[in-house]
């Protein structure tokens, strides 16, 4: 993120203000939008470093949508030109032929002047962004793409639990998912401390909630667990030090640490985590926070595979479904 963009997303009180999603059209099963669900038509573009994009990678894998929704992965290092396809041969996305995600943004809106974000779903043939609305994207993968779910796919957004999932997601987003950014990108002491207090108050609340239940809502993994996991898995590697979220490490919060390890060891979660991309992106891209660009050697990541003991709380990860292949 360039310095000018960073400043544009900070209030006069030094508070981090997240850029609104520009492309919010939905891909629908019933054709009510101009973007119908259609296998092979769309490409999900992500950074493996980004927690918002990571959600969609997990949900895509859990639901078995790999064969109908292709995946493009950008370089974890984002320069002043934005997300780049330098990991691919010829440094271009093999499906669309574009070198920078910004090309798809500008095709969809030639006047777009904001920051190009991931995840983004592109129309492959038109090489344009369909949506970058990350909160709705994963919900739609669960509810609009059902005809293409694998056999045994879990119910991540079951109708009878949606109100509770939405309620949990709202507070987790405000205080945790976005809260770590409000700590890291604050430009005043007051804004930082307010975000810090809200973050750890919510983590304490989550510890209490999860002390006697295996998952956030219901007896199986839901959208709520996916959204919390992608922040927790990055906590010690980047948020604790880089974003100054340092009251405690995740590994020093027993309930949340066990909960996060339980999910990490569940198919579809840990196998989608790339700590190298995560660390290189945050430490080498946010020059206003880490001007030297040095990527720390730690922390020790071996603890993620240690026993968590949360099976004793009951519940089944996939409910009546099965794990992804």
Q: Which two tokens stand for residue 304?
A: 């993620």
Instruction: Indicate which residue of 50, 157, 239, 282 is catalytic.
Output: 50
Look up 245 and say whether it is catalytic: no
- What φ, ψ does residue 42 adopt, rounded to 5°? -115, 160
Give CA–CA dist 161/138, Å, rounded: 16
Instruction: Indicate which residue of 42, 105, 134, 181 is catalytic.
Output: 181
Give CA–CA dist 49/242, Å, rounded: 14
Give CA–CA dist 229/225, Å, rounded: 6
**245 known member of a binding site:** no
Look up 181 and say whether it is catalytic: yes
**118 known member of a binding site:** yes
**115 known member of a binding site:** yes
Residues flagged as binding site for glutathione: 83, 115-118
- Which residue numbers are catalytic? 50, 181
Binding residue ranges: 83, 115-118
């Amino acid at each position: 993120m360039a310095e000018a963009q960073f400043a544009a997303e900070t209030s006069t009180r030094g508070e981090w203000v997240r850029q609104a999603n520009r492309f919010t059209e939905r891909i629908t099963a019933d054709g009510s939008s101009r973007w119908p669900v259609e296998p092979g038509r769309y490409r999900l573009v992500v950074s493996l470093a980004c927690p918002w994009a990571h959600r969609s990678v997990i949900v895509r894998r859990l639901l078995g949508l790999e064969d109908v929704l292709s995946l493009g992965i950008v370089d974890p290092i984002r320069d002043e030109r934005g997300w780049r396809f330098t990991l691919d041969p010829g440094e271009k996305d093999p499906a669309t032929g574009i070198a920078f995600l910004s090309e798809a943004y500008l095709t969809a809106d030639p006047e777009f002047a904001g920051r190009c974000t991931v995840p983004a779903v592109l129309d492959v043939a038109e090489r344009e962004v369909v949506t970058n609305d990350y909160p709705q994207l994963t919900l739609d993968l669960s509810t609009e793409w059902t005809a293409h779910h694998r056999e045994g796919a879990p119910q991540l957004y079951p109708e009878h639990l949606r109100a509770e999932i939405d309620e949990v997601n709202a507070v987790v987003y405000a205080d945790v998912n976005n809260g770590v950014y409000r700590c890291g990108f604050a430009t005043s002491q007051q804004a930082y401390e307010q975000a810090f207090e809200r973050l750890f108050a919510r983590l304490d609340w989550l510890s209490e909630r999860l002390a006697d239940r295996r998952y956030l809502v219901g007896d199986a993994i839901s959208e709520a667990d996916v959204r919390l996991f992608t922040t927790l898995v990055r906590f010690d590697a980047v948020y604790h030090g880089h974003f100054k979220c340092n009251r405690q490490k995740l590994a020093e919060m027993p309930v949340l640490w066990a909960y996060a390890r339980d999910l990490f060891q569940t198919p579809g979660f840990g196998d989608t985590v790339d700590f190298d991309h995560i660390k290189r992106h945050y430490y080498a891209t946010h020059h206003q926070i880490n001007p030297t660009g040095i990527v720390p050697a730690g922390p020790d990541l071996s603890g993620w595979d240690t026993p968590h003991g949360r099976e004793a709380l009951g519940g089944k990860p996939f409910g009546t479904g099965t794990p992804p292949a």
